[in-house]
Each structure stands twice: as C-alpha cells, then as structure tokens.
Structure 1
C-alpha cells in the first residue's frame, strides 16, 4: 500500500465531493447556457456553487470566474491585466520563485514587448519589500506574487505587498493555489485585485479552478467564444467540476483548524525523528522557519541526490516529490531552491513531502524509518 506524501501535487478526491458530482453527470447534465429546463437546472447548480464559494471566501459571487485550473487562472489574470492596462505601461513585477504558470506567462509577455522584473528572495524564500518598492516604476501595471510557495511552503507578506501596490495604483495578483483552504481568506478585506485557485489541491476534481476579480478590475478575456462567466471566460461550464469544487472548499474550510493542527504535528514529527536519527547537520529544512504552509515540508539530505532518494522511496511504496521539473527522465535542480541561493549540496538533494487529510502519524513514522535506512545504506556504500 502506497504512503502518499505528495498532496501539494494533487490530492485524492473526497468521497463527499464525488457524491456531489455524480448526480450532475447522470441527472443535471444540461448545458448551463441552454434556456430549456435542463439548462436552467444546470445553471442553478453553478449559481449555488458560486454563491457557496463566495460566502466561504468573503467576496461577491459575481467576483468569481470559473476556469480550468490554476494555470488558466494565472494566465487569465496576468495576460488579461497586461492587455487591459497596456496603455498605462508595460512593466510587470513578479518573483523568481513563482510557479511556472506565472513565470512562463511573463516570459511570453516579454516576447510581446513587456518588461518583467523578477524579484530576488532570501535564503528562506521571502522577498524584500524594500527591493519591491525600489523596482516599481511609473509604468508598472501589475505585481504577481504567490501566497505560499508550492515547493518550500514559504508564505510571502501578501498584505504588505498589496498595500504598497494599492498606494501606487498597481494591480496585485496572487497565486493562492497552495494556500486555499489552508490560510483563512476574506477577499473583500484583503488588498488584492486578482487571486487564483485550483480544486484538485483541496480534494476537489482536476480540471476546475477559479479566479477572483475585484469589482473595480476589468480584464481583457483570453478566451473568446460564448458569453459565459459574464463574458469574461468563454466556454461551456464544467458543471460537475464547479459543484465538486465548492463542496471540497466547504469541507476544507469547515475542518481547517483541525487540519492545520494535524499538519503541524506531522511536520514536527518527521523533522524531529529525522534529525534525531541522522543528526541535524544531515537534515536541512528548506523554507521559512516560521511563516510556512503547514502541509509542505522540503528537506535536503546532503550527499544523496533527490533522484536517488525519490527512486528509493518509491521502491518502498512512498510517494514524494522533488518539486522540480522532469526533463528527459532526469530531474533538474529546482528553480525555487536556486533562487534561494542555497548550496549545491542542498539544492541537489532536496525532497518535498506534503501531507493531506488521510496522512497519519504512522505514515510519518514509517516514512522516517525508511528514509533513515536509505540514507545509512547509501552513505555506508560510499
């Protein structure tokens, strides 16, 4: 039986979410844009889901646009803002440690004549607010910063960034894919203009996401066709996915506190066991020491490559990740860890463990035991 510790990549769909979606596939299967009764029934499902999510996130239902996931939400926010504000300037600020859905979108804009500033981070993965203020220009139109990093879990000072952006009349986009359901969000009170979400990180279905758009923001659509989503995102609505997303968010938020406590305990247990058995100098924790997402733990085992550790863990029935891109069957060093300017020994040996609702203390005990065995075996063979 696999011990699954890669919830930051994706999560198993919650049974209650599946039960919410099944009747929509079999009974409420109409196109939500159709005017007949089947269409009206599907449209009602979408509206109820939107209303529920809005109440859970502290915003108006009209401020939520459903997308195909976090990648599309990021693209919609950045490309849509760039097009809408191009007459005011073509300078965008983001961070070197962003998800590729943000970085590659910004690189695409560079080809179209936009200038992108990629902020540095410190050894813990945090940006310097002073540097951010220094790189702002009169022609800066957008700042895009991830709430909590998907590889090391570091949380950025989102409120302070948002306040700075607002004082300069700059739109502020936040990729909150990993933070959703983990960090309390009240969107109407946050200085944020755009925020991206994805369902499959919170035990919802794959292929559905959302973008929060503040009332004063007018984005240029990146998909053209029908008039769905108030003419902001064309395409037939993924009705079962939308219903499943709202149910997953409801479950996650209802159990957020107990989940946070559980994740923190699992994180501490793993770190404590590994440091005790391997020695603290042989177990390097990557990311911010206090401001982190509790379900993400990035550890380096100096002298043992990420690839070797992951393959060894997989053979023991444990699923983890490197948090880095896979190219031609080999792992590249994480751009996040490189941006943090960590030593080559640390960056080349990093493994990300990420916990979920089904993760148990016994899973962590077993995983720690297996890691100790693997590390000792490899080091003794050298």
Structure 2
C-alpha cells in the first residue's frame, strides 16, 4: 500500500541526510547496502543492475546482483520512526492541512495500520462498485442513501433502492393508493374491489337499469332512491315485453319448421326423381329360341333393342346362344356411349318354376361381360320362348370424352 505514497512530501520537518538515498536523493525505501556500507533504495539498485552495471556507484565494488546486497536493520528501524502527515491530510504547499483532510501525525512504520482505520481513506461501497470511492467516515451516510443498497419491500420482494421507488409507484400490491372518488387510501391490490363494490362516492347505475331505470347516483345515496321509487312497474313492463317477444319467436320457429319440412319433402322427391332417372327395368322376350340356337354360332350374338336410362345414356343386351368363347350361354350388358360409368345390374333367366330361375348381377365399369353356365334348358323355354328380365342402375358417371376411329 505504501509503495505508491510519496513519503518525501509528507515528512514532518526536514529529511535527515542519513535517510536520503545516495542515488535518487529521496527518502530511502527498502534500503539495501553494498559490503562497504553504501545505501540505496532497492528499486535504484535494480535499475542499475538492469543496465548491466554490476558495481556500487560510490565505491565501485563488484556486486553480482540484488541477492549480494545486505539489509540495514538500523536504518530500517530509524525510517519507521520518522514522523509524517497522514497521506489523507491533503497537505498544501504551506504544510497546512486542507479542509476535510486527516490531521493525524503518524510514523512511517504505522502507515498501513493507520490507513486501515483512517476515516479519510477512500474505500469501495459494499453495495456496488458503481458508487465509486467513498471516504470511510462518510460510508455510513452514503449507505443510508446508496441507490444500489438492496431493500426488501412490504410485498416480500427485494430491489435495489433506485428501483424501489418505481416499484412502489407502479407495481407493488402493498402500496397505499388514494381512491379517486372518496380520497381514502387502500392497498393497490384492494383498490379495485373497493371501487367496484364499496366506494360510497363512486357513481353507479340503478340495479334496475336492465328494466329501463336510467337513474344514476353515488353508491352511498342509491338506497334512498330504491326506498322511494317502485321498480315493480318496470319489472312487469319488461316481463310483458319479453312474453310478447317470445310469442313472436315461437310463431317464427313454427313457420321455419313448416318451410323446412316442405323443403325437405321437395328435396326427397328430387332425389327420388334423380334415382328413378338412372334406373331401368324390363324384360327381353326372345321367340323361336331353337331357331336362334341354330342360326347364331359360337361367338355370334343376338342384340336386344336399344333402351335409354337417361337422355344420353343408351344400353342394349347381347345374348350368345352358343357362347362367346365357350359353349355356354352368355349374356352381356353393353353401353352405347363413350363416357366411363359405374353400373349396378341384375339379369334373371326366367324359369317356368320361378325358384329355378338363374340370377346373375354385378357392378361394372365400361361394358363388362358376364358368363352364365347353360347346361340344361329344362323349364327355361315356354312355347320355345326365352325370357330375360333385367334391372339396371347407373351408380356414377366419370365424364364424357371423345374418341377417334
């Protein structure tokens, strides 16, 4: 601590020559001597050795380094007893202590001890280095108003002093706030409930405002209004109005219900019509069947008249008496248009004994062909006539497209 202090300027009285450094001519600091007794400050010896001067500058005796020098205990003790002014005295050129400085006179040997208790020594604030250096004697006063001291608020949260004021002014639920109506003070956390429920000076509407009472006054005077005005008339008028409104709504609901039922029936009929438009049921009666079997060889077909399921969707049925590829009766549903579709159909080769009739049906895309075994014609021909019943329904259309031959 004392290394940076200029002791020469703090000496009380003149500097004794025996304590003057032979090199720098200042008061000795950490004196060391050569073997012939010439004394200099340790720092001056080191400066000389750093310049490669390995000898005493007085007697020129060779010296290898600082370790070859000796301490002078006598001089050290004498130096420690020299009187100086406290470094915190702020001595002016006239050797008078300036106002606000330490007036103590101490010895060089007691500098560190004194500075550790001197009320004028500048030290750091315990709260924050942002406060800068503060004299020890003024630290108590500084701490009392230090902006960085941590304080605990009534709400049990801690803040540094400089933030506490804003916290209390804007946030703290425990801070007392004055009611703008009655001027009484309440905790911030309770003020809202006070204004909404209790404040006698807060203007409020009559509790019967929903029944058209437009009276307003402060809460403390509202009871007087309630005691002197009969609100039952307003309540009755409101009930009559609501009853009338309810009847009107019931009538509207009944009308809407009737319209919806009517529209629903129309929609059902429209759906039914659409479904019927995409259906077709009939029978194809083929006379002189035995002649047809002889006339149409395998791979040759007999075609029914074309029938329409809708305006543009035409179909017919083809029968191969001797089969298309195999020697089996083959019945095929064929469409006469180009667009893709999904068809649900059912064929019935009618037998005299209805329980023996042959049913066949499936869903088809394009014009799929079905095959039916024809091993026995017993009961299927009546007066040499074959009857084929069919039911056809277009399930889905996939759009028209054009083809080129």
Mark yes or no: TM-score above 0.5: no
User: Which one has a larger percent strand, Structure 1 or Structure 2?
Assistant: 2
In our comparison, the structure showing a higher alpha carbon Rg is 2
Query: Which one scores higher on RCO, CA 8 angstroms, separation ≥ 6?
Result: 1
**TM-score normalized by structure 2?**
0.16
